[in-house]
Amino acid sequence: MDLVDALEADRGTTCVVGAGGKKTTLAALASRLDRAVVTTTVRIPIFDEWVGRVVVADDPVAAVGSAGDADWPLGVVPERERADRYRGYDPAVVDRLSELDAPVLVKADGARMRRFKAPSDHEPRLPQTADTVVSIASVHAVGRPLSDDLVHRVEEVSALTGLAPGEEIRPRDVAAVLASERGGRKDVPAAATTIPLLNMVDDDDLESTAREVAAEIRDRVDVPRVVLAEMRADDPVVDVV
């Protein structure tokens, strides 16, 4: 199964949440889709280098409608907030992109470059038209201590897993967060599909760890698949389980 099929991203609106590879996942999908729209409901670092063009516009639907053939994949954002990042749209504005006959890719929360996270009260910022929500964690978090340099929102992860700060993150802890309705499945629209993605699976030991996490997820929740991936690879999908 290729990446687009694994994440059901060839149609509708696909949102990415979590930590450990949201931007690389968006970039990998955008490069494999015909005429994809890339946008965000949160702040996003400048991403001009992996799309054909970024348009700053209050009305993303109009911006997409005026795109030329060389503009795809097309980025649309409401404002360049400062030199190194764009601001995101309100989710209700992104809902309007569902009117288009184009796959829409959305960054729907932030993680400050960490490898693992749980959402706060105001996250994620999901459009109600989301068809697929890809909940991401890096397997590099397993075996590392629960700490601010690795994990975004340590207190929230602690609340979902029972881990104390400084304790070692286990496969079941990553699974507990991704499977939880207060974690990777938080605020997912009723009609949307949640697909956990375990990223940075770049050697055999990490693949074994990822399989353990995937089995733990499946013990907790019914999902169509868990994707094991290395988003920096030419063929990102390691396996689908």
Q: Residue 143: in which H helix or E strand, if any? A: none
The structure's pTM equals 0.97
What pLDDT does residue 155 have? 97
Q: How many Å apart are CA 11 and CA 104, to the nearest integer?
A: 8
Is residue 79 helix, strand or coil? Answer: strand
Q: Residue 86: in which H helix or E strand, if any? A: strand 85-87
- In angstroms, the Cα distances linking 165 to 43, 44, 111, 144, 201 are 27, 28, 18, 11, 25
What pLDDT does residue 167 have? 98
What pLDDT does residue 213 have? 98
What pLDDT does residue 141 have? 98
Helices (H), the chain: 3-6, 22-32, 60-65, 91-95, 154-161, 171-179, 204-220
Residue 225 backbone dihedrals phi, psi, to 5 degrees: -170, 160
**pLDDT by residue, tens only, the chain of 241 residues:** 999 999 999 999 999 999 999 999 999 999 999 999 999 999 999 999 999 999 999 999 999 999 999 999 999 999 999 999 999 999 999 999 999 989 999 999 999 999 999 999 999 999 999 999 999 999 999 999 999 999 999 999 999 999 999 999 999 999 999 999 999 999 999 999 999 999 999 999 999 999 999 999 999 999 999 999 999 999 999 999 9
What pLDDT does residue 109 have? 98
Domains of the chain plus CATH, in order, are 8-34+102-240 (3.40.50)
